[in-house]
Amino acid sequence: MNKLISRIFLILLFKGVVDCAEIRLRSVDSFKSDITVQQGDLIDLEIFVDVGDIPSAGVEVYLTYEPDKLRLVNQETPFVQGPFYTGTVVLNKIVSTTEIGFAVISNAAPYPKGRGVVAKVQFVGRGSGKARILFNRDPKLHWNKGKYTLFTQFKDGKPRLRSFKDLVDANIEVKNTLVKIDRYDLQRFVSENPGKNVPLDKFVIISGTEGRPKLNWVLNAEDDKGRPKKVELNVANQLIVGDLLPKSKGEVVKVDLRVSLKIGDSLAIDTATLWLDNKGIPVLIRFPELSFRAGSEEILLLDNFVKDMDHKNAELSWGIDGMPVALVIGGVSVNRLDKSKGIIDNPPRLTFRSLNPVANTKKFKMFVTVTDPDGNFDRGELEVSVQPLPFVKLDLTLPNTVSLIKNEEHHIDLNRYLDIEPREVFNDIVWEAIPSEHVSVIIKNRILTLRPQRDWIGASEKVKVIAKFENKKVEETAITISVFDLPTDTEKTFPVILIRNPILRYEFKIVSILDNVADLTVGLTFPESPDLTPRTLMMKRIDRSQNVWTVGYQLDSLPKDGIKVVATVIGRDNLGQDISPSMSTFILR
């Protein structure tokens, strides 16, 4: 019964062969399917398809290759997805010792059609001779094993399985090269095995001989400043890496390799360059700039600013140089001959004090060095600033104007508008408020409360906020207050729209559309909810828009029976004249 179903499905599949559908395996560089390389060369291939004018939802590709002549570069995920199908990769792996598979499904419209690159894959020429990489297409052998190359096209709104009419395989000729260094695997070994000796013979491809002949190596090394370094091989032709590695962060060592093989009168030579860096170097994270007032103390825990893959922090040693005489630095054993240098005690903890008064800010630069037991090190700059006492820099950026509805009490959190240096005096700031004739001002716990007189309506009254430190004024700012009454007979002179959050139903935005406007304010009232106080909100123009204004608001909760919201928008035009207000009423449920 299963065989019968399989035969019927095959008949339907091959009836669905698309005349113009083609899949081709070709070179990324030449776009040709006939390729010639040397042993050890990298072969970059791409899978190119033409699925016709009907949208396609996905493709499934299986390739058969000859492992004795071609080596797959990426054994974990052989393919790199191409731009034609932008959906989800559902298959990307080796499916047998001679086969690899790739499949991708587009998740949503618009689905691709026409031509494009599905994926890319890399091989290295291994054995000399001719080799082929074939698309799996045998209806009996490959279909029954679930390794058949196909794609899908839409019919009646549904994706249907289709076979390619033309499948163009890759024909590769690997030319006989007597000796070749596999540069890619060699550099990858060095990167994945930091500090380990490199078995150079393992990364040489030899052809035309029997067994494993002895290879001759000539090596030269230099650092990134061109200075020569001693390079050694052991008896097993392993490059001894330990002493070659650079000792500080950011440095690299270049090793030039020359391998030769002489058989009779024939001499084969190949060269390569190897780059070495040291992943075991302790790395300093950038130190923060330390800033404190004269007479106080600052502490820096150095363990928080170092990363080392090979050693624990307790195994690291620390040093400092460039210490200024104007600072008292604790946690350092000072060099007897040079007082600007010293060894930092363990655990590494620096304290900084300035006993001398300073008239202006003084900055000092020092350099901290960390070294691991292998002699690897990193060096970082440390900057210390000493501020005069008292020194307070306070920046309070409050709104210039605030518009309120009649009888509305308004609160402003000063913390949101406050920037202060140094932070240590934050709680020592004394706040004062100067009210206007009709608006009282209260500051408590850095919350500014504006409270207009009952039923008062007016404009352009100023209140002042003053910040003092040690009885000296360090900042003063003023706010212009306007209080208005919402009109009850306002018509809708321009659009006032309410847009709700579809998920958080108690959250909404008010949107207005109006040209030639300098500013807009919306007043929200809740006539059927006496426990809700009126609110005034400043609207903002949407970026890159000249006439769309918006502001968001969130209720604490949404009553079961809903809530009535009246939104009245007022404002001024570009000439400073009041515009006719507009009002809309909304019911939120």
d(CA 13, CA 5): 12
Inter-residue contact 52 to 116 (CB < 8 Å)? no
Inter-residue contact 526 to 401 (CB < 8 Å)? no
Matching residue, tokens 């890399």 = 122
Report pLDDT for 77.
Answer: 96
Burial class (CB within 10 angstroms; exposed 0-12, middle 13-18, buried 19+) of 282? buried
Residues β-bridged to residue 128:
none
pLDDT above 50 (res 36): yes
d(CA 147, CA 4): 19
Report the CATH number of the 393-484 domain: 2.60.40.1080
**Taking the domains of the chain in order of start, what are their residue ranges?**
2-175, 179-276, 283-387, 393-484, 496-588
> pLDDT: is 282 or 372 the higher one?
372
Would you list the DSSP string of 197-209?
A: -EEGGGGEEE-SS
> Which CATH architecture fits 496-588?
Sandwich (2.60)
* Among candidate residues 488, 497, 546, 544, the one with its CA nearest the CA of residue 522: 497
pLDDT above 50 (res 556): yes
Of the candidate CATH numbers 2.60.40.680, 3.90.1150.10, 3.40.50.410, 3.30.470.20, the domain formed by 2-175 belongs to: 2.60.40.680
Three-state DSSP state, 389? coil
CA angle 183, 185, 187 (to 5 degrees): 65
pLDDT digits (tens, 9 = 90+) for 462-506: 889 888 877 777 788 888 887 776 655 555 678 888 888 766 778
Report pLDDT for 288.
Answer: 85
Report pLDDT for 311.
Answer: 67
Per-residue pLDDT band for 309 (boundaries 50, 70, 90) equals low
CA distances, 228 to each of 222, 225, 242, 244, 466 (Å): 4, 9, 16, 10, 67
Report pLDDT for 299.
Answer: 86
Indicate yes or no: pTM above 0.85: no
Mean pLDDT of 562-584: 86
d(CA 275, CA 251): 10
- β-sheet with 447-452: strand ranges across: 410-413, 447-452, 439-444
Report pLDDT for 117.
Answer: 97
Q: Provide the mean pLDDT of the chain.
A: 83
d(CA 195, CA 287): 28
CB-facing half-sphere around the CA of 249: CA atoms within 13 A: 16
Report pLDDT for 6.
Answer: 45
**Around Cβ 94, how many Cβ atoms within 10 Å?**
15
Q: Which of 170-184, 200-214, 463-477, 573-587 has the lowest mean pLDDT?
A: 200-214
Same CATH fold assignment for domains 2-175 and 283-387: yes
Take residue 433 and report the two structure tokens written for it: 């408020």
| DSSP conformational letter for 186 | H
Question: Measured on CA atoms in the order 270, 271, 275, 276, is the torsion positive or negative?
Answer: positive
Per-residue pLDDT band for 4 (boundaries 50, 70, 90) equals very low
d(CA 345, CA 350): 9
CA 523 to chain centre: 41
Share of the chain above pLDDT 90, in %: 20
- β-sheet with 430-434: strand ranges across: 401-405, 472-484, 458-469, 430-434
CA 52 to chain centre: 38
Exposure pattern of 26-36 as b/e (b: 16+ CB <10 Å)? bbeeeeebebe
Inter-residue contact 154 to 57 (CB < 8 Å)? yes
pLDDT digits (tens, 9 = 90+) for 126-142: 777 899 999 999 888 88
Mean pLDDT of 521-541: 86
What's the length of the chain?
589
The phi, psi pair for 313, rounded to 5°, reads: -60, -30
Residues β-bridged to residue 437:
none
Inter-residue contact 73 to 122 (CB < 8 Å)? yes
Report pLDDT for 59.
Answer: 95
d(CA 345, CA 317): 8
Q: Does the domain spanning 283-387 belong to CATH 3.30.200.20? A: no
Three-state DSSP state, 13? helix
